[in-house]
Structure 1
Amino acid sequence: MRVVDVNELYSPTGGGVRTYIDRKMGLMADLGHELIVIAPGPDERMEERPGGGRIHYLKSPPLPFDKNYGLFWDAEPVTALLDSLDPDVVECCSPWKPAWIVGDWQGRAVKSYFMHNDNMAAYAQRWFEGVASHERIERAFGWYTRYQARFLDKYDCVVTNGPALEKRLRARGLRIDAAMPLGIERRHFSPDFRDEALRRALLEQCELPEDGLLLLGLGRHHPEKRWTMIVDAVERAGASLPVGLVLLGQGIETDRIEKRIAGSPHIRLFRPVYDRERLARIMASADALIHGSEAEPFGLVASEAMASGLPLIAPDTGGCAEIADPHSAELYTARDAASCAAAIARMHARDPKLLRRAALIAATHVRSDRDHTVDLMAYYAAQAEAKRRTLTAA
């Protein structure tokens, strides 16, 4: 099958969506399928990928508050490219202009809307959390749910990236046809990559001894990731315990985070690590991954950490909570720094050998991205066959 993904969220310097698509492209080629991405960019160009697949960048304006991403504005260049590519399946994941461009496109392909995120949780719930209750905010932004329902009616199928997002969207009355839990590239992440010398070096940079608790925070610096809340929690826990935090990432909140941790002896901020082998070694060498976003729909970073043998400290709602193993995780009340600090203290108090054993067992159960791709392609094949029969009968 040829699948074309009209993806406004794809960026060479982006985060989880880019990681997911780049890997999916190679896996689909291995399985005899083709993935072509249509993405916004600063100029028009086409990028071939080794092993199959390609990215078509269409010249588009940048996102005003995050220059890493672009915005599709005109429908014609997108639909013209779709016409020429003639896909079997066309995917879309942006709820704005692309949702309507793809939804209104008249082609033979199965049109699939793939839910990667939840803007209600990532933005509205966060913006107004100190003003109104969760339920009241949901009601106030019911217009957005109704807006989504209108364009989803134009699609043959609506897919989410896991059960957390499926539950959240179904609760709002949105149509969801299938949940396809994501997976990770297992061969890049393993407890075998643990490096005790690297762990000691990172603890030394946090001005802590070898018996300190080394926490790792990974992800783009965006308000929805709640890094300042994580910093607050680590400082609270660190007031009485030897706790260090290494943050890897960058984004629109980097300056704010740098100012927040200035003078903190036990928290260090580093730029993202794009070398997969180096990143895997860092992940396997920490003592736990700490995560702050309750809006996370799936939790790729958490899955990578678990596959690396790391315990998790995560909020009690969202994608990370769904995949967390209860024997090697500590959950805390979402958005609550005091609760997060208590979870850090509980992690520190656990028996290191028993915790390590539980984390190693959890690592063997992490879903692979190949599993996800096989399941998704089988689903799309069934959808394409059903649509072909319908068109033939008509």
Structure 2
Amino acid sequence: MRIVDVNEFYSPTGGGVRTYLDRKMTIMAEMGHELIVIAPGRENRVEERLDGGKVIWVRSPPLVFDFNYRMFFFEAPIHALLDELDPDIVETSSPWRPGWIIGNWQGRAPKIFFAHNDNVGAYPMRWFESFACPGDVESAFGWYTRYMGRFLAKFDAFVTNGPALAKRHAARGLTVHASMPLGIQRGFFSPDHRDEALRRSLLEQLDLPEHGHLLLGLGRHHPEKRWPMVIDAVETAGQDLPVGMIMIGQGVHSRQLEKRIAGSPHIRMYRPVYERPRLARIMASCDALIHGSDAEPFGLVGLEAIASGLPLVAPDEGGLFELADPHIAETYRARDARSAAAAIRRLFARDPAILKAAGRHAASKVRTDVDHVEDLIAYYQSLIDGAPASIWVA
């Protein structure tokens, strides 16, 4: 099977979608299939991958508000590439130009809209939350759901990357044909990578004793991640608990966040760690992952943390909430720093031995990226074979 993914979210500088697609490319090659990504880039070029698959970069203009990403504009070059590649399945995940570019393509392959995000949850819900309730915001942006419905009518199936997105889109009246939860490369992440010497070193950098609590905040520095709220929560919990946080990531709000934590002795920011083994060791050496985004579509970082044996502190909305098993997680009211601080206190008030055992058990049950790709290929094969795009939950 040859899948071509026309993906506006595939960035040269990384990100969750790129991580997902790079790994998917490798797994598919190992299964005897092929994934080709068509992505917007600085110039037209082809990047062959040694382990199978390739990326075709199409010269495209940058996003004015985030130069890590670019956007497709013209339809003809994409259609020409698709005609030449003659895929068995075509995917896209952007509701902007690619939604229409792929929708209008007249090739033989089933066309899949694979949702990786929720623009209403990530943006308007956050912009207007101070003076409008979620229901009112949903009503005001009903035009966006109708807009999605128009280009989705040109597709053969609407697939989401997990239950959180499926529930949101279905609640708006859109038909989601399949929910395909993501998975992680479990071999990289394990509780066995815990390094007590590294943990002590990190606590020392946070000016905390060895019996202190080490939280991990991992992800890009973007408003939807709600890092200021997370920082407020950690500082509030730190008033009566020896707790600190290391933040690993970068993004459009890195400078603002650096200024925000300048006076916080127990919070430090570090640049992204791209070496997976090193990141796995850092994750396993922390005491919990804390997350702030209530608009998280799935939350691969949460799955990686669980695979590393970490418990979660997560909001009660979004992708991480779907992963937050009460045995290994404490949840809080989304967007509420005081509630998040209380969740931190509750987590570290638990019996450490029981929490550690629960974490190890959860790590052994984490869904893998191979599981995800196998389910996806099976579903796509059913579409190729002519089966109707009926509801499918992996």
Do they superpose with TM above 0.5?
Answer: yes
What CA deviation, in whole Å up to 9, does each residue of 1:135-190 have, x standing for no partner? 00000000000000000000001100011110111000011101011000011100
Report how far residue 347 of structure 1 moved.
1.2
Q: Residue 357 in 1 paired to residue 357 in 2?
A: yes
Counterpart of 1:132, as a letter, is A
- Distance across 1 between alignment mates of 2:282 and 2:192: 12
Report how far residue 387 of structure 1 moved.
7.2
Counterpart of 1:86, as a letter, is D
- Distance across 1 between alignment mates of 2:260 and 2:41: 33
1:286-301 equivalent positions in 2, closer than 5 A: 286-301=286-301
* Residue matched to 2:180: 180
1:200-211 equivalent positions in 2, closer than 5 A: 200-211=200-211
* Residue matched to 1:94: 94
* Residue matched to 1:391: none
Flag structure 1 segments of 5+ consecutive residues without an equivalent: 389-394
What CA deviation, in whole Å up to 9, does each residue of 1:198-256 have, x standing for no partner? 00000000000001010001000000000110000001011111011000000000011
* Residue matched to 1:161: 161
- Distance across 2 between alignment mates of 1:235 and 1:251: 22
- Distance across 2 between alignment mates of 1:270 and 1:167: 34
Contact 1:90 1:110 in 2 (8 A): yes
- Distance across 1 between alignment mates of 2:290 and 2:229: 11
The residue matched to 1:58 in structure 2 has which SS?
strand
* Residue matched to 2:213: 213
The residue matched to 1:334 in structure 2 has which SS?
coil
* Residue matched to 1:37: 37
Contact 1:215 1:290 in 2 (8 A): yes
- Distance across 2 between alignment mates of 1:14 and 1:120: 23
What CA deviation, in whole Å up to 9, does each residue of 1:244-269 have, x standing for no partner? 10000000000110000002100000
Report how far residue 14 of structure 1 moved.
2.7
Counterpart of 2:310, as a letter, is L
Across the aligned residues of Structure 1 and Structure 2, the Cα RMSD in angstroms comes to 0.9
- Distance across 2 between alignment mates of 1:328 and 1:259: 32
- Distance across 2 between alignment mates of 1:219 and 1:9: 16
Contact 1:110 1:387 in 2 (8 A): no
Flag structure 2 segments of 5+ consecutive residues without an equivalent: 389-394
Counterpart of 2:7, as a letter, is N
Contact 1:199 1:285 in 2 (8 A): yes
The residue matched to 1:246 in structure 2 has which SS?
strand
* Residue matched to 2:108: 108
What CA deviation, in whole Å up to 9, does each residue of 1:70-90 have, x standing for no partner? 000111111111110000000
- Distance across 2 between alignment mates of 1:97 and 1:350: 49
Report how far residue 12 of structure 1 moved.
2.2
1:134-283 equivalent positions in 2, closer than 5 A: 134-283=134-283
* Residue matched to 2:346: 346
What CA deviation, in whole Å up to 9, does each residue of 1:252-296 have, x standing for no partner? 000110000002100000000000000000000000000000101
Q: Residue 302 in 1 paired to residue 305 in 2?
A: no
* Residue matched to 1:26: 26
The residue matched to 1:386 in structure 2 has which SS?
coil
Counterpart of 2:246, as a letter, is V
- Distance across 2 between alignment mates of 1:189 and 1:348: 23
Contact 1:14 1:69 in 2 (8 A): no
Paired residues, number: 388
The residue matched to 1:251 in structure 2 has which SS?
coil
* Residue matched to 1:313: 313
Q: Residue 125 in 1 paired to residue 137 in 2?
A: no
* Residue matched to 1:78: 78
| TM-score for the superposition, normalised by structure 2 | 0.98
Report how far residue 13 of structure 1 moved.
1.1
- Distance across 2 between alignment mates of 1:15 and 1:283: 18
- Distance across 2 between alignment mates of 1:263 and 1:299: 30
Identity rate of aligned residues, in percent? 65
* Residue matched to 2:60: 60
The residue matched to 2:247 in structure 1 has which SS?
strand
* Residue matched to 2:392: none
* Residue matched to 1:392: none
- Distance across 1 between alignment mates of 2:124 and 2:366: 31
Q: Residue 367 in 1 paired to residue 367 in 2?
A: yes
| TM-score for the superposition, normalised by structure 1 | 0.98
